[in-house]
Homo-oligomer: A and B are copies of this chain.
Amino acid sequence: MITRKEVADRAGVSVAVVSYVLNNRSIVKEETRQKVLAVINELGYRPNQTARSLKTRKTGQIAVLVHFVGNPFEGGLLLYIEKKAKLSNYSVFFHSFEPAREEELKNTLMGRVDGILLLGQTLSEESQAFYSLMELPIVSLMHPGVSMPNIPVVDVDWVTEMRRLIVHLREQGHDRIAFMTAGDSQNPIAYRLIAFREAMRHEGLELPETYILEGAGRFEMAFHTLTTTLTQGFDFTAIVAANDLMAVGCLAACRESGILVPYQLAIAGCEDILMSSQVSPALTAISYPRMEVGLAATELLLSLIDGDNRKTPRLEGKLSVRASTVEP
């Protein structure tokens, strides 16, 4: 590996001068500067980022904890997160979060990243305290299922979004609306059920516990659960799935079971990924502003890293009404 020393020797200067040149300090004589640059070019020298990080105590990396990148929704978020980070010369360290391995995560993150971006996951109290002690800023993109008082959240107002969807469904004649959720309270989309419950209450609608279906956030599980429910009999007329993968799974289950959407059952999603607009019937969905949320969350995290104290923006979705909830 070519080091700064070699460049310095070859250029007949000290390592300090090479540093000055690389860090664009204008204190270097132009002539020396050119000489150093020439040698750098000649040798193809690149500074070692790790050594630099150790000294400056800045890594130029942020960790993004993902839940399941197989879900296009997360992929779409990642796209904008990385784009924004890159603009500020930050790189993204990308890690799948497993609640059972929070301990190990601390080890891998320590000294390697300048901040952490959660994608709706819940950190244990202990982890929160740890990162806080280490002065590692954390931002959560999406409301976690369990509240974490000191971690800012960038998200839409889910209650508002859910109400808008429920109002639409009522207009279509539905008042028995089921909800498909994703497991435990640790799941990144767990909060959507909480918001849905509240929205239903606001709208004065009942939500019996039997209307809560478990889809684990995945297509396959949603398909399986709804298929079972359909054969066992059901009395709701619409179903809202906490994410679009599950909504598509529900649609597939209906197709398979001969249930006509939207006539016998209306289906809606909460994200509006590309797939939702392309299935048949196309899915009505809350259109989650992935770009805005992704950019805003990353911007907030970066500003926190820089010590600024920006406030968390309010973002808004909209409703994409399509054939899965509207009889022609």
CB-nearest residue of chain B to A106: B46
Would B96 and A94 count as touching, CB distance under 8 A? no
Complex-state Cα separation, A278 to B279, whole angstroms: 6
Query: Scoring A residues 153 to 192 as 1 if CB is less than 8 Å from chain B, else 0, what string do you get?
Result: 0000000000000000000000000000000000000000
* Contact residues in B for A75 (Cβ distance below 8 Å): 69-72, 74-75, 78
CB-nearest residue of chain B to A76: B70
Which of B89, B95, B96, B275 is in CB contact (< 8 Å) with A274?
Answer: B275
Would B82 and A86 count as touching, CB distance under 8 A? no
Can you list 25 A-B pairs with a CB-CB distance of less than 8 A? A44-B133, A46-B110, A47-B107, A47-B111, A48-B110, A49-B109, A49-B111, A50-B111, A51-B54, A71-B75, A74-B75, A75-B78, A82-B94, A82-B96, A86-B96, A91-B93, A91-B94, A91-B95, A91-B108, A92-B93, A248-B274, A278-B278, A279-B279, A279-B280, A280-B280
A302 located at the interface, meaning its Cβ lies under 8 Å from any Cβ of chain B in the complex: no
Which of B49, B78, B108 is in CB contact (< 8 Å) with A112?
Answer: B49
Closest CB in chain B relative to A245 CB, distance in Å = 8
Query: Scoring A residues 101 to 145 as 1 if CB is less than 8 Å from chain B, else 0, what string do you get?
Result: 000001111111000000000000000001001100000000000
A219 located at the interface, meaning its Cβ lies under 8 Å from any Cβ of chain B in the complex: yes
Report A44-102 residues with CB < 8 Å from chain B CB. 44, 46-54, 59-61, 68-72, 74-76, 78-79, 82-83, 86, 89, 91-96
Complex-state Cα separation, A89 to B59, whole angstroms: 19
* Contact residues in B for A47 (Cβ distance below 8 Å): 107, 110-111
* Contact residues in B for A109 (Cβ distance below 8 Å): 49
* Contact residues in B for A93 (Cβ distance below 8 Å): 61, 91-94
* Contact residues in B for A46 (Cβ distance below 8 Å): 106-107, 110-111, 134
* Contact residues in B for A27 (Cβ distance below 8 Å): none
A7 located at the interface, meaning its Cβ lies under 8 Å from any Cβ of chain B in the complex: no
Closest CB in chain B relative to A223 CB, distance in Å = 10
A252 located at the interface, meaning its Cβ lies under 8 Å from any Cβ of chain B in the complex: yes
Contacts A83-B96, A93-B91, A133-B44 given; does A51 touch B278 at CB 8 Å? no
Q: Which 9 A-B pairs have the closest CB atoms?
A: A75-B75, A48-B111, A280-B280, A46-B110, A72-B72, A94-B94, A275-B275, A50-B111, A49-B112
A297 located at the interface, meaning its Cβ lies under 8 Å from any Cβ of chain B in the complex: no
Query: Scoring A residues 268 to 285 as 1 if CB is less than 8 Å from chain B, else 0, what string do you get?
Result: 000000110011100000
Query: Scoring A residues 20 to 62 as 1 if CB is less than 8 Å from chain B, else 0, what string do you get?
Result: 0000000000000000000000001011111111100001110
A199 located at the interface, meaning its Cβ lies under 8 Å from any Cβ of chain B in the complex: no
A251 located at the interface, meaning its Cβ lies under 8 Å from any Cβ of chain B in the complex: yes
* Contact residues in B for A248 (Cβ distance below 8 Å): 274, 278
Query: Scoring A residues 250 to 270 as 1 if CB is less than 8 Å from chain B, else 0, what string do you get?
Result: 011000000000000000000
